[in-house]
Homo-oligomer: A and B are copies of this chain.
Amino acid sequence: MSASRRIVVVGGVAGGMSAAARARRLDEHAEIIVLEQGRYVSFANCGLPYHLSGEIGRREDLLLHTPESLARTLDLDVRTGHRVTAIDRAARAVTVDGPDGTSELSYDALLLAPGAVAVRPPIEGLDHPVVHSLRTVPDLDAIESAVAELLGSRPEGRAPRAVVLGAGFIGLEAVEALVRRGLEVELVELADHVLPPLDPELAPLLAAELTAHGVGLHLGVSADAVTGTPDGAATVALSDGTVLPADLVVVNVGVRPASTLAEQAGLELGPRGAIRVDADQRTSDPHIWAVGDAVEVRQAVTGAVGPVPLAGPANRQGRRAADSICGHRTTPQQPVLGTAILRLFGLTAAVTGANQAALRSAGIDHEVVRVHPGHHAGYFPGAEQVHIVASFAPDGRLLGAQAVGRAGVDKRIDVLATAIRADMGADDLAELELAYAPPYGSAKDPVNMLGFVAQNVLDGTMPQWQPGDLDDVRATSLVLDVRSPPEHAAGHLEGALLIPHTELRGRLDEVRAAAAGRPVSVHCASGVRSYLATRILRGEGIDARNLSGGWLTLSALRPDAVVAPALA
């Protein structure tokens, strides 16, 4: 290793800073220069909403390092306010606009970690001063000062009104933060459910949590225009004709790779504009590496390629790029699972692998399994349901999983993310040996239960019917509700035959008569009792199948089909 090697890193957050730090640890004598166009490096971008909410009390806690601390601990030359405007690949030099003007900086290795830029949706009036985004420390500072001013003035003695555009991860975190600060919040999302990456049957749980905290939901609509009002506030006009008054508008409708510099330098980009890299993070130029939100990755399950703006992969990519630059052994980049998690008030929602929409659009055959077990033993106080939806290949391989609940969600998704990475299937999940004591889990953990149910579905022990097929199911089979009469009375499907599961063995004749040769489509609340009933019926030679996810899922997806007592 040459003592004079110069490594230039463009972008001083997440991936870029991971690379710089790792490079120093591998090469004590390299000259490592980090160029960051913003005022801050190594800040906690995932923490911004939690400072806005007030949970992270001190703004400086978000600033994990400063140029000074990085010089002291890692001997890095970190230059904020320095923007790279061009790469001269032949000369191995970058052009830098800094506080002291424009200069050239040569490199032996160049690492690009430019991140992503917020997508600016096609909405009129987005330049109105009440409109903000939430991606950077200056963004946060601006929202924070707007909120403080609004709370201080309280026009007309009412709570300030915020409109949040985009119900993705950051949008929802912003909603919670603003509600915690005392604002009235309206949430606008183009997709027909909140948190679009979530499978639609889980989204109603989040919607209910938002509603319970006073958030107004506007789903399946777009914002058309932001219009200033004489008092300095604004209105947001939606595509359905609604006009929302807004003292503050926060826009987070997604990001796109900040790949302009790379593109202008002639580096190869993918079809979605992300920088193409090899397994060692090297671009099409052998002296240039790239990491983070700006690079193209492959989705593990579907094989789709594109950018994935997640902190975890960015950090690991930075480490890998440094290993490659320094000639250290590298662990080749693995396809991305897209594991992500959201806290929304008392709920947690998390995803890993491919969701149902991605599987469908990739044409990947799969069976959807849904379970609602307690997050720990039911006899121990405080058990909370974990609502899990998972997709399995016909050969049993786990393709994706999502979960929503009030406790134990992150643990199950992390186990399932590990399982997908290990190519595990239903049989493996059934046999996982997870830590059990009553405060933590069950002897049959929710992950085991998911495996058991998937085994039963895949080997034909328990054929399923899907809530999405309800209309067809009602037209061609007998729907058998095996819940208790009070549960039935609180909401049921019209025309369903009610026989509590404990009475089924003695009332088979009624089932046979009502079915009249048609299959029997059984359901209960969560799928457990109806599984027993399905097995009883199949043991008697009746073609029975169980509703995936039970009434909990069906009533969330098809509220229109629910006959409530007032209507019955």
A: which residues have CB within 8 A of B? 14, 24-29, 44, 46-47, 50, 55-57, 61-62, 64, 72-75, 169, 173, 310-316, 319, 328-329, 331, 334, 336-343, 348, 350, 352, 377, 379-381, 410-411, 413-415, 417-419, 421-422, 424, 427-428, 430-441, 443-445, 448, 452, 455, 459, 461, 501-502, 505, 531-532, 535-536, 538-540
- Residue of B46, B433, B438 near A437 (CB, 8 A) is B46
- Residue of B413, B433, B436 near A336 (CB, 8 A) is B433
Besides A311-B443, A413-B435, A421-B433, 12 more A-B contacts (Cβ < 8 Å) are: A24-B535, A25-B535, A46-B443, A50-B439, A72-B502, A169-B437, A316-B430, A329-B459, A352-B435, A410-B411, A410-B435, A418-B418
- Chain B nearest CB from A34 CB (Å) reads 17
A415 touches B418 (CB 8 A): yes
A539 touches B27 (CB 8 A): yes
Q: What number of copies of this chain does the assembly contain?
A: 2
- Cα A336 to Cα B46 with chains together (Å): 39
B443 touches A315 (CB 8 A): yes
A443 touches B14 (CB 8 A): yes
- Cα A414 to Cα B417 with chains together (Å): 12
- Cα A291 to Cα B538 with chains together (Å): 28
Q: Taking CB as reference atom, which chain B residue is nearest A341?
A: B435
Report chain B residues within 8 Å CB of A29.
Answer: 539
B461 touches A343 (CB 8 A): no
A379 touches B56 (CB 8 A): yes
Q: Taking CB as reference atom, which chain B residue is nearest A348?
A: B440
Q: Taking CB as reference atom, which chain B residue is nearest A43?
A: B379
Report chain B residues within 8 Å CB of A439.
Answer: 50, 343
B411 touches A434 (CB 8 A): no
B536 touches A381 (CB 8 A): no
- Chain B nearest CB from A47 CB (Å) reads 5
Q: Taking CB as reference atom, which chain B residue is nearest A25?
A: B535
Report chain B residues within 8 Å CB of A338.
Answer: 433
**12 contacting pairs across A/B (C-beta < 8 A):** A25-B531, A46-B443, A47-B377, A56-B380, A73-B532, A312-B433, A316-B430, A339-B434, A410-B441, A413-B435, A417-B434, A421-B428
- Cα A413 to Cα B334 with chains together (Å): 23
- Chain B nearest CB from A560 CB (Å) reads 33
- Residue of B315, B334, B422 near A444 (CB, 8 A) is B315
A438 touches B312 (CB 8 A): no
- Chain B nearest CB from A535 CB (Å) reads 5
